[in-house]
């Protein structure tokens, strides 16, 4: 049993807003849902599967009601919550449901407003008494990974900076990007240290906004007018400190989700023309590129240097919308926007300055939670038919 080729992404929508104090979170979900349904050329009443994560106010059943989905028709829901990669996991789960005949038009939404106001804290895990007081945040949790990666492999701040430089080269062409200025390695190194060894420009933006996807059957996708983009491989995985045994913060759960996705797709990293890689921080990108097999473990620094991730310049164009480092990071969750730009690339709808020629195979990969503490990862491999 495989999901290879059994589900197509027929509709996409990225909310243009980056700051939405005048809108409700549920409203943003509705706006992105409407956008993706219209992009597909379908109607609200065609939706028979709904997927959302922890950002959806109240969870699946209040959202299904608020969105006015057709409850006589809706027959599959999934509110898997794995932080920023939830939506990549949803994509795989939607494909599984479609392959099993459990739904035929799946809607996945993400939206929220962390730039307008602080997000509610996530519920405590069993570790709370033994960890919460130490103040793990995104910055220092990823800082701990970077520190150890530098120690073990000689990775440098200059190499990490190249990831931001590449993102900024792409963001200059995105009219919605929060940060449109092209930056240099020196700019990144001269930005204030936030949590060693990560500088401000190693960190992604905080933005309001959202995005949505319509995933459907091959038959329905082929009846619509959009270029055909299908899921051919998917993987998901989780990693944590495991009782403190053999702690190694230099790799992520992508080391397991990646090979699962590539095996299902029957391709290798060398075949990928475009990569959407979650860029909560520069170190996130570097570690994930290694874990996914784009280079050997420890050689990520060399791989990303000298513009290798810049479209039209390097060997692996990444995050051509500017990514979380420059464009947006809706709800502090980067998984959705990673899928959206991968689909734009495969459709040939990316900005002409960053569009990859003959882009027929793309990867969208993300993590959720804290890389330096416990996290999930998910990998999707997409093909233009």
Partner 1 sequence: MSEAKKYPAPVTNPETAAFWDAAKEGKFMIKRCTACGEAHYFPRAICPFCYSDKTVWEESSGEGTIYTYSLMRKSPTGPYAIGYVTLKEGPSLQTNFVDCDLTTLKIGQKVKVVFKPTDGAPLPFFTPA
Residue closer to partner 1 (CB basis): 316 or 371: 371
280 contacts partner 1 (rule: CB under 8 A): no
Beta bridge partners of 108: 51, 213
Q: What are phi and psi of 199, to 5 degrees?
A: -85, 170
Shortest spacing between CB 183 and partner 1, in angstroms: 20
Give, as ranges, the residues between 318 and 337 that touch partner 1 (CB under 8 A): none
Residue closer to partner 1 (CB basis): 129 or 219: 129
Size of the site for partner 1 (CB under 8 A): 38
Give, as ranges, the residues between 101 and 140 that touch partner 1 (CB under 8 A): 126-137, 139-140
Distances (CA, A) of 89 to 82, 238, 339: 8, 12, 11
Shortest spacing between CB 153 and partner 1, in angstroms: 13
Q: Which of 35, 92, 112, 143 binds partner 1 (CB under 8 A)?
A: 143
Shortest spacing between CB 372 and partner 1, in angstroms: 8
Shortest spacing between CB 240 and partner 1, in angstroms: 10
Sheet with 76-78, side-by-side order of all strands: 76-78, 49-51, 105-112, 209-216, 7-14, 229-239, 375-384, 361-369, 274-277
Among the listed ranges 31-39, 77-85, 143-151, 322-330, the one in contact with partner 1 (CB under 8 A) is: 143-151
Give, as ranges, the residues between 361 and 380 that touch partner 1 (CB under 8 A): 372-373
Residue closer to partner 1 (CB basis): 314 or 369: 369
148 contacts partner 1 (rule: CB under 8 A): yes
Residue closer to partner 1 (CB basis): 139 or 351: 139
Among the listed ranges 46-54, 146-154, 228-236, 313-321, the one in contact with partner 1 (CB under 8 A) is: 146-154
Shortest spacing between CB 368 and partner 1, in angstroms: 19
Q: Which of 72, 225, 242, 357 binds partner 1 (CB under 8 A)?
A: 242
Q: Which of 85, 179, 249, 295 binds partner 1 (CB under 8 A)?
A: 249
Give, as ranges, the residues between 220 and 239 that touch partner 1 (CB under 8 A): none
Shortest spacing between CB 126 and partner 1, in angstroms: 8
Q: At what angle do helices 157-171 and 282-292 cross, to 10 degrees?
A: 100
Shortest spacing between CB 66 and partner 1, in angstroms: 34
Q: Which of 33, 40, 64, 141 binds partner 1 (CB under 8 A)?
A: 141
Give, as ranges, the residues between 165 and 204 that touch partner 1 (CB under 8 A): 192-198
Which residues of this protein are in contact with partner 1, per CB under 8 A? 126-137, 139-141, 143-148, 151, 192-198, 241-245, 247, 249, 372-373
């Amino acid at each position: 049993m495989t999901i290879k080729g059994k589900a197509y992404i027929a509709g996409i929508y990225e909310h243009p807003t980056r700051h939405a104090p005048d809108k409700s979170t549920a409203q943003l979900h509705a706006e992105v849902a409407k956008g993706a349904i219209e992009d597909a050329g379908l109607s609200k009443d065609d939706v028979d599967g709904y997927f959302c994560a922890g950002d959806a106010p109240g969870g699946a059943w209040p959202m299904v009601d608020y969105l006015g989905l057709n409850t006589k028709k809706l027959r599959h829901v999934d509110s898997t919550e794995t932080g920023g990669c939830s939506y990549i996991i949803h994509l795989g789960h939607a494909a599984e449901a479609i392959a099993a005949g459990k739904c035929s038009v799946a809607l996945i939404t993400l939206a929220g407003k962390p730039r307008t106001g602080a997000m509610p804290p996530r519920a405590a895990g069993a570790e709370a008494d033994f960890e919460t007081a130490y103040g793990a945040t995104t910055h220092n949790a990823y800082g701990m990974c970077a520190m150890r990666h530098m120690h073990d492999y000689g990775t440098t701040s200059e190499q990490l900076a190249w990831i931001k430089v590449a993102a900024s080269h792409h963001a200059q062409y995105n009219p919605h990007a929060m940060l449109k200025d092209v930056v240099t390695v020196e700019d990144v190194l001269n930005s204030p240290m936030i949590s060693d060894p990560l500088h401000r420009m190693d960190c992604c933006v905080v933005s309001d906004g959202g995005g949505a996807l319509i995933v459907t059957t091959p038959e329905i996708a082929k009846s619509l007018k959009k270029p055909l983009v299908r899921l051919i491989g998917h993987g998901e995985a989780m990693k944590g400190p495991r009782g403190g045994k053999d702690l190694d913060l230099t790799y992520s759960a992508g080391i397991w989700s990646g090979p699962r996705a590539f095996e299902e797709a029957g391709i290798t990293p060398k075949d990928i023309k475009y990569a959407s890689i979650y860029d909560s921080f520069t170190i996130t990108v570097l570690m994930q590129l290694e874990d996914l097999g784009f280079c050997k473990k420890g050689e990520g620094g060399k791989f990303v240097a000298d513009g290798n991730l810049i479209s039209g310049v390097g060997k692996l164009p990444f995050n051509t919308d500017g990514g979380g480092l420059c464009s947006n990071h809706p709800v502090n969750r980067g998984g959705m926007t990673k899928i959206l730009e991968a689909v734009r690339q495969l459709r040939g709808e990316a900005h002409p300055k960053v569009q990859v020629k003959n882009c027929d195979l793309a990867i969208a990969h993300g993590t959720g939670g804290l890389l330096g503490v416990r996290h999930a990862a998910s990998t999707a491999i997409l093909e233009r038919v």
